[in-house]
Amino acid sequence: MRTLLKQGVLQPDLFDQHLCEVALDNKRLILRRNDAVRIRETRRRADKLAQLQQKIAERNRFVEQSPRANAQKGLSALQQWLKRHKLTQFVTLTLNERSIDCSINEAAQAEDALLDGCYILETDVPAALMAAKTVDERYRDLQKVERNFRTIKTTFLEIRPIFVRKANRTKAHVFVAMLALKITRHFEACLRAVFATTDNDPHAITPDDALVALGRLTYLYQTHHGKRIVHLPRPDEHQANILRALGITFPTKPKISKRTKINKHTA
């Protein structure tokens, strides 16, 4: 992408449009900027800089309190941290006597953030057969398919491969997995409608956060006059907000088991 910018094929302001198309060597380049990704990258870069400042302060404080500490060693470690987090393009660390100083080149930082959220789709499908908007929509659909597979196999649902031989069992397994995915999507949509997403609010409640919070709702078992009583505590405010977002009504009466007798063992 930056190579095309240097060659003059693209200009940065093309990404400011909702959707732009450029012809190059009998191919179509569909240009777009994803604002959600741009915001996330901006926040991530700011978080890295905040972590860096904290690490510098901790290292300087350690060196100040430890006369035998090697200041150069701390500088080298932080420079390696910069490389690992790809901040060397606009951040410079120097050693001022025994203290580490940090300088940020704002122009270089703006250049580094120039293409945040930008992407290019390349296709040889003629415009008469597929408009630029349709190309972008099909690409987004492909992202959703890939995300769904990740959700099923490795992330939220963690349905690992199950080896089946018969066709009807294979179809049944796929059907159950799709039903689970549909429930997951509805779960996410309900949370998103009330709490937004982490792209808009870093403190938004994710599906994983909701499951952890609701996982604290557990049955309490008590025995009274030979009867086993199963009690479900009332949800706290955080749990109640999640249940309300999901449209789930919490039971108001405790559940008492029908098993009224408990075997007693005497010595």
What's the pLDDT tens digit per position in 8-55? Answer: 777 777 777 778 888 888 888 888 888 888 888 999 999 999 999 999
pLDDT in tens, 189-234: 898 888 887 666 777 888 888 888 988 888 888 888 888 888 778 8
Residue partners of 52: CB distance under 8 A and separation at least 6 = 78, 81, 82, 87, 91, 102
Q: Tell me: the pLDDT tens digits for 68-112?
A: 899 999 999 999 999 999 999 999 999 988 999 999 999 999 989
Q: What confidence tier does 265 reach under pLDDT thresholds 50, 70, 90?
A: very low
Q: What residues does each domain of the chain span?
A: 2-34+117-139, 37-112, 216-256
Closest-CA residue to 227 (of 202, 246, 208, 255): 255
The pLDDT of 177-183, averaged and rounded, is: 87
Top-confidence residue, 238 or 141:
238
Q: From CA 105, how far away is CA 48, in angstroms rounded? A: 15
Averaged pLDDT for residues 140-156? 78
Backbone angles phi, psi at 123, to 5 degrees: -150, 150
Dihedral over Cα of 150, 154, 159, 165: its sign? positive
